[in-house]
Chains A and B, each alone.
Chain A
Amino acid sequence: MKKKLLTLALLLVLVLSGCVKTKSEVETEGKGDDGKGGLNEKVQIEVLGMGSGEEDLNIVRDQLIKNGFDVKLNIQPDYGTFSSQKDAGNFDLALSSWTTVTGNPDYAVRALFKSDGANSLFKDSIVDELIDQASRETADEYTKTYKQLEQQLVTEKAFIAPLYNSYKAQGVNKKVLNPDSVRLAKSRAIPWETIDFKDAAQRTTEPLVTQQAIGDLTSLDPIKGNDGSINTLNTNMYVRLVNLTDEDEVVSDGSLSYNYAMAEGNSDYYFLLRDDINFASVSNEKATDTGERVGAEDVVFSLERAKDKDSVPDHRTYSLHERIKSAEIVTDLSELKNAKQSGSEETILESLENGIDTKLSKIVDSKTEADNSKGNYQVVKVTTTEPFPQVLNYLAHQSAGIVSEKQVKSINTYDVASFNIDKDIPYGDQRTVTEGATYNNHLYASGPYILVKKNDYQADFVKNPGYRTGSDFEPKISNITVRFIDDSDSALSALRNGEIHLFNGVPETKYDLVEKDDNLLLQKSDSNAVTYLQFNTAGRKVSESENLRKAVLFSINQDEFLNYYQGNKKKAYSTVSPLVDTGNELVADSDKVKEFMDAYHKE
């Protein structure tokens, strides 16, 4: 009996071994050898990221390990701890992302890659030169320059390793909102004034409830912030000289100007201002029309402070506007008659008058004298330090929002050099709108909405009663509530159960949930958000060795990212990829990895 069983067991094993493949058999069938690290020791790469990027980090880790690296993950729970780790230099690769909110390629490279940029990662004279050259060129010319720039940046030096370009996806509750009124733009933040309920009777009775992730607002002074906490809010609180369309073209629609024109030489820009926008303020939790018009004086004041590094403490956006030389009110009509538009025989005046009802009879100095119906207009001229057509994109950015000269000067009475955040309260400080003892709302909004109050959970906005009353651009919905919901899964749940009506940022892996839901509509568009790996440029092995950086670069397989995100990402080569089609593509190549690793070990 025992013997029989034993032979049976042996037989079973034999049969099994006949039809089962072992791992090494499969591997030798697939590839010749798997001599990954070879004789050399594995190089350890420390990858830094945030908890929210856990999936990307895992894919990078997997790809690096499969190419023979040893990977250490450094996952930080939030942006604060992430930045402090990054500042301390505790990384070889940092998972970073960049969104070009102005929609122009210069912004996509200047701050990150220029030696003197605000978020500069490294210093390279060829890169600097190429960035400056491209900025002077028009759209037709700069494609080649940006291609060269990308090659220097990625192929030659491997300063960054690109991962992917994201889509923007927005979930809309179509049972409550009219989905056609909800815009989804490639670069700019969503404008609230066009959004309408399905049932117009709800405009005054129901609030529109939307969402954003960060509830700690950097500053409600447009020039003092450029991040996710205030971009949408400030965009809707301050009007600008021009706007971007959903496809990133610069237009006057929904802005303070009727028309704009670029004069010959690409250095002078003229804007014909409207007279139907008043500043709003808040009293007793209601918006009131201050009666003060948004005029050329405010425009000049706003742009002058935007370009001046020392106009406020913590000026976070002057690098966007540093190429504005001056902004002034035009008082001489003949200047407009004489100047020609760039690349055209039309005069500036003709171009500015294009499509308006009452032609210009007089241009006035003071905003109180402007009366468009009588032909009295205000015109602002912006001059750049050098020919720079992309300045218009910067003027469409929220940081170029128009603030009230009178109000800001009356609040910002402190001395900039000796500013003390504990004693001085600057214009737009979030403490002044936060419920509680410090509440003292001093905001003057030139845009369609004004912030009434906020707490840790939400911010309440009401419409500006003096904003283009009676026109198509008059805000439709009276009250808007912005919920602060940090986690995208929670926000999605809130959208699905009707708690919020609008959610920008549906995660890629959850598109089908929104699409399947009868109450919801998924709006999807391209975006300028690029995720990339940034190499540490000081004090690490990867900072010293180009070969090591390239070995890491060629380990990155963008196809796997696309697979993971179920095709809801696009390939990218650098931060300009979504804006300029340069034709560069990163192809993973394990042979090149080996080659560069060998070269690295010989160094």
Chain B
Amino acid sequence: MKDSTNNRHALVISKEYPQANFTWILSVVLAGIFLWNSFPTNTKELNPFVFSLFCAYMVTAVFQLFITLKMKKDLLSTGEIHAGTRRLGYVQLASLLTGNIFAATFAFNLINKRKTPEYTFAVYMLLTQLAVIAISSVNLFKPYVSDTFLIAMASLLLITLFHLVALILSVRYVREYSAPRWMSVLAIFLMATAVTGNLFALLLGWSLFMKARRFDSSRLLKWNVMWEKITRNSTAVLGMFFILLMLAISITSRFTFDYALAVENNYGAILQTPSLEYPFGTDNFGRDVFSRIVFGARISLLVGFAATIVPGLIGGFLGAIAGYYSNRIDNWIMRLLDILYSIPGILLAIAIIAAFGANTVNLIIALSVGAIPTYARTMRANVLMVSNYDFVDSAKALGASDFSILFKQVVPNSLAPMIVKSTLTIGGAVIATSSLSYLGLGVEPHIPEWGNILKVGSTYLESNSYLAIFPGLAIILLVLSFNFLGDGLRDALDPKLD
């Protein structure tokens, strides 16, 4: 009796089991979507390509269900997952070929019993790299590719190989708090590959570097605990994966995609439905929507990040000063910011754009100004709390100046909520950018930006709905990813939830 309660408990605390359930359900849902789309409403004929995708996803889902049931049995009977069940993960890795990222991440998770943050980083680093290559190689179906395509693809492939090696090595040699010294060289190379936008490589590299150089163990513990908390939350990691994938794509698309296909009109290919050559179809000017969405990620991310960092810095600075210094300064700053806060952000942005003209810099300024007060409030609240801590008193007793106490002691310890808040608001900034472009107030209409693409799509919603669906999905996924990541970060950084 006691045993079975224990095993039930094992089922509940198992990290893999909920993910297994999540994976098969999602695979079934995706398979359903493919089934629905394999019978186009107008032709009534079976689309063989989409139908085979449905079959592949269904097979994955059934196999996943099998694994899940087996895991449940294992956990209930012995309290842990058997090695044989774990080996099934290698079979499930094949789902990567169909692009089922959920099944693939689960498989990676299942295979390795002992999960260091390095393992997770390495897996996602590899997945990101593979996804970038997969997305870029769609260009092979185009009549021509950009001049730098082959070189870029070759280097991407080499980097992927290197990442695969790094994955294998880190599985073999990395322990919880240490790694062989020679790994610091590997780490430096890994960090160098992060220039492709694959920041998982940077994380892995830094993590390996810290362990190989035998950093202070309390620091390592903190690092491990934080990332364990984040990686335990599979939606947060998937969100992070999608964001970093978009980042990597927006950097590598510079070399692997042809910008002309996204901006130059091609009257011979107006309003084509999705095909291999044009995966997301073409718009009313014959521009490739897939390329447009890929290039659009650049602006969305740039404006999203910039419109978060700028008010974060300004608001953070003002909030810190308001929170730390006298009441008078506090009142002055905060009441002025209250005035700014009382103006609706999007209206303020529209007014700024209307007055100074539409371009990317103005867009960032317009979106930033309205967001300053909220950051200032968050920072002020934290500073008020942190400045009462003992270490601040000690610093005062040691005779440090107010300014250095504020920015050396108080602010760094108040950053966690700011980070969480900014991750959660980037999504809002991405939506605001797209909204302004949708209203014709953002960047120029021919420039690929998700809001612009959606605007064109909205007028063809009935006849060519794919024009609106794909940019809409891109916006939804990116915003959702930021929100998931923000939630994960909050759980990981919030001491109250410990």
Contacts and interface: CB of A to CB of B under 8 A. Distances in A.
A and B associate in one complex: yes
B463 interface: yes
A45 B54 CA distance: 51
A362 to B, nearest CB: 63
A590 B171 CA distance: 61
A58 B267 CA distance: 12
Interface string A57-88: 11101100110000001010100000000000
B444 interface: yes
A22 B165 contact: no
18 contacts: A2-B161, A2-B165, A12-B157, A16-B140, A16-B150, A20-B145, A22-B145, A22-B147, A25-B144, A26-B144, A58-B265, A58-B446, A59-B285, A62-B285, A66-B264, A509-B460, A513-B463, A564-B267
Interface of B: 140, 143-147, 149-150, 153-154, 157-158, 161, 164-165, 258, 260, 264-265, 267-268, 270, 284-285, 440, 444-446, 459-460, 462-463
B440 A51 contact: yes
Interface in A477-515: 489, 509, 512-513
Contact of B463 (A6, A24, A512): A512
Given A5-B161, A10-B154, A66-B264, 10 more contacts: A13-B157, A22-B146, A22-B147, A22-B149, A23-B258, A59-B285, A62-B264, A62-B285, A563-B268, A564-B265
Given A23-B258, A77-B440, A564-B284, A62 B265 contact: yes
A430 B258 CA distance: 55
Nearest to A562: B267
Contact of B153 (A16, A25, A73): A16
A591 interface: no
Nearest to A564: B267
Interface string A201-235: 00000000000000000000000000000000000
Given A66-B264, A563-B267, A23 B144 contact: yes
Interface string A20-36: 11111110000000000
B145 A9 contact: no
A25 B258 CA distance: 14
B150 A17 contact: yes
A346 interface: no
Contacts of B268: 563
A17 B265 CA distance: 27
Sort A-B residue pairs by CB-CB distance and give the 9 closest, nearest first. Answer: A563-B267, A26-B144, A62-B265, A13-B154, A21-B144, A9-B157, A22-B147, A560-B267, A17-B150
Contacts of A66: 264
A55 interface: yes
Contacts of A55: 284-285
Contacts of A61: 446
A26 B153 contact: no
A54 interface: yes
A65 B445 CA distance: 15
Nearest to A17: B150
Given A22-B150, A58-B445, A512-B463, A6 B145 contact: no
Contact of B284 (A24, A489, A509): A509
A6 B146 CA distance: 24
A74 to B, nearest CB: 9
Contacts, number: 87
A564 B440 contact: no
A17 B153 CA distance: 11
A389 B446 CA distance: 48
Nearest to B260: A23
Listed residue (B146, B161, B264, B445) with the most chain A CB atoms within 10 angstroms of its CB: B445
Contact of B143 (A26, A65, A509): A26
B270 to A, nearest CB: 7
A58 B285 contact: yes
Contacts of A23: 144-147, 258, 260
Nearest to B160: A9
A166 to B, nearest CB: 17
B445 A75 contact: yes
Contacts of A566: 270
Contacts of A22: 144-147, 149-150
Nearest to B458: A489
A66 B260 CA distance: 11
Nearest to B263: A62
A21 B145 contact: yes
A9 B161 contact: yes
Contacts of B270: 563-564, 566
Max chain B Cβ within 10 angstroms of own Cβ: one of A55, A62, A66, A513: A62
Nearest to B151: A13
A22 B260 CA distance: 13
Contacts of A65: 264
Contact of A513 (B144, B145, B260, B462): B462
A6 B161 contact: yes
B153 A13 contact: yes
Given A6-B161, A509-B284, A13 B150 contact: yes
Contacts of B463: 512-513
A141 B150 CA distance: 65
Interface string A556-596: 00001001101000000000000000000000000000000
A24 B147 contact: yes
Contacts of A10: 154
Contacts of A26: 143-144
A588 to B, nearest CB: 12
Contacts of A51: 440
Contacts of B147: 22-24
Contacts of B157: 9, 12-13
Residue from B165, B258, B260, B267 whose CB has the most chain A CB atoms within 10 Å? B267
A62 B444 CA distance: 13
A9 B158 contact: yes
Nearest to B440: A51
A485 to B, nearest CB: 15
Contacts of A20: 140, 144-145, 149-150
Interface in A274-307: none
B144 A9 contact: no
Nearest to A57: B445
B228 to A, nearest CB: 31
Nearest to A13: B154
B179 to A, nearest CB: 20
Contacts of A2: 161, 165
Q: Which of A20, A21, A55 has the most B CB atoms < 10 Å from its CB?
A: A20
Nearest to B137: A16
B459 A489 contact: yes
Nearest to B444: A73
A564 B287 CA distance: 12
A303 B284 CA distance: 48
Contact of B440 (A16, A75, A509): A75
B150 A54 contact: no
A512 B464 CA distance: 12
